[in-house]
Structures are given as structure tokens and as C-alpha cells.
Amino acid sequence: MGTELATLLSLLVVPAAAGASWAGVRAGLNGCRKSLESIERIVSRLDERVDTHGERITVLEVETTHLKSKGRRLAPDE
């Protein structure tokens, strides 16, 4: 009986190790998924900020061009 029990326990070690490995892989994948979601949120916020800054720069360029043309006096030959 002792030999059979030892054989049975040795056969159960492999599936138990595989289960533990799978649990570790799954936990790692869940952590990776959360990290990717966090990175995606950060990138989206940065993209919105870049768009906002681009719009501001465009407004300033238009205003600068307008002010330059308004203040510029044309020479007679232009």
C-alpha cells in the first residue's frame, strides 16, 4: 500500500506543477493586460494634449500672421 501511495503521489505532482505554472502564466497575463490598459490611457491623454497644443499653435500662427499683415505698410512697388 505504501508503494502504491507513493506512486500515486508522484503521478499527481506533474499535473499539480502544470496547474501552478498555468496559474502563474495567467496572473502574468492579467498583469500585462492591466499594464497595457494603463499605457493606452496615458497615450490617449497625451494625444489629446498634443491636439490641444497643436490647435493653440495654429491659432497663434494665424493671429501672428494677421497682426504682421495688419501692421505692415505696403511699399508703392508691392
Q: Tell me: the pLDDT tens digits for 11-70? A: 888 888 888 888 888 889 899 999 999 999 999 999 999 999 999 999 999 999 988 888
Q: Which domain holds residue 31?
A: 21-66
pLDDT surpasses 90 at 74: no
At 24 the pLDDT is 87
pLDDT surpasses 70 at 76: no
Spatial separation of the C-alpha atoms in residues 35 and 42, rounded to whole Å: 11
Spatial separation of the C-alpha atoms in residues 47 and 41, rounded to whole Å: 10
**4 within a domain of the structure (yes/no):** no
**78 within a domain of the structure (yes/no):** no
The three cell numbers of residue 68 are 504682421
Total domain count for the chain? Answer: 1
Spatial separation of the C-alpha atoms in residues 42 and 75, rounded to whole Å: 52
**71 within a domain of the structure (yes/no):** no
Residue 3 falls in which region: left (phi positive, over 0), alpha (psi -120 to 50) or beta? alpha
